[in-house]
Amino acid sequence: MTISRQTGFGLIEVMVALVVICIGVLGMLSMQVRTVSYGQDTNLRSNAAELADELMEMMRADLYSGQDGSSTALTPPASWGYYKAKGSDFPSAPTNCTSMASLSASQRLGCWAQRAQLALPDAVNLMKPEFYICRSNGSSTCSGTGSAIEIQIAWRVKAGECLDAAASSDSDPTICRYVLREAP
């Protein structure tokens, strides 16, 4: 009796190996796409946070210095050149935004809006309907009372790419928002 020995791989083994390799490669590609998406969202959120912090510090500096007629009482004035209601236009920026010290609050806000338009996708079209700067008491959006300042910044992404867990289901899924609320 002779025993026959098989050598090499059969077609079925090769096909199974190819299927396993393809599944692994597809999984890695899927993870890569998500990583790029998360990285982009992180970068845009970081830009929005920097812009909001920059505006808050500008406001805080004016409040502490008493510039623009605000008192030095650490409570934001009821009417101030930095406020912008949702749905209203930003003030016009002067032709030269390099020397901010000589500008009024509304002119500095206009210069800040120009920088925001350059830093965030489609911010030009979202400035009026989505951006706002107001006084808040911490429990409601833009109550006009309280000592906190609330700043909302928005930018546009592809549908489903905004990783904001706080976004309401009835809002536009292509708009991401960043809200900063703190006392100056």
Whether residue 6 is contained in a domain is answered as no
Predicted local confidence at residue 72, as pLDDT? 53
Whether residue 3 is contained in a domain is answered as no
Which tokens hold the place of 11?
A: 């077609």
Predicted local confidence at residue 140, as pLDDT? 63
Predicted local confidence at residue 170, as pLDDT? 59
Whether residue 82 is contained in a domain is answered as yes
Predicted local confidence at residue 173, as pLDDT? 85
Whether residue 5 is contained in a domain is answered as no
- Domain range for 133 is 13-182
Q: In degrees, to the nearest 5, what angle opens at C-alpha 38 toward C-alphas 37 and 40?
A: 65
Predicted local confidence at residue 166, as pLDDT? 62
Whether residue 2 is contained in a domain is answered as no
Whether residue 126 is contained in a domain is answered as yes
Predicted local confidence at residue 79, as pLDDT? 83
Predicted local confidence at residue 128, as pLDDT? 95
The domain tally of the chain equals 1
Q: How many C-beta neighbours within 10 Å does residue 76 have?
A: 24
pLDDT, averaged per 10 consecutive residues of the chain (184 residues), comes to 68 91 95 86 93 93 67 71 92 88 90 94 94 84 82 89 67 88 81
Contacts of range 118-123, beta carbons closer than 8 Å, 24 or more positions apart? 119/47, 119/50, 119/51, 120/44, 120/47, 120/48, 120/51, 120/153, 120/154, 120/155, 121/44, 121/155, 121/156, 121/157, 122/155, 122/156, 123/153, 123/154, 123/155
Q: Whole-prediction pTM value? A: 0.78
Give me the residue label for tokens 């549908």.
159
Whether residue 152 is contained in a domain is answered as yes
Whether residue 64 is contained in a domain is answered as yes
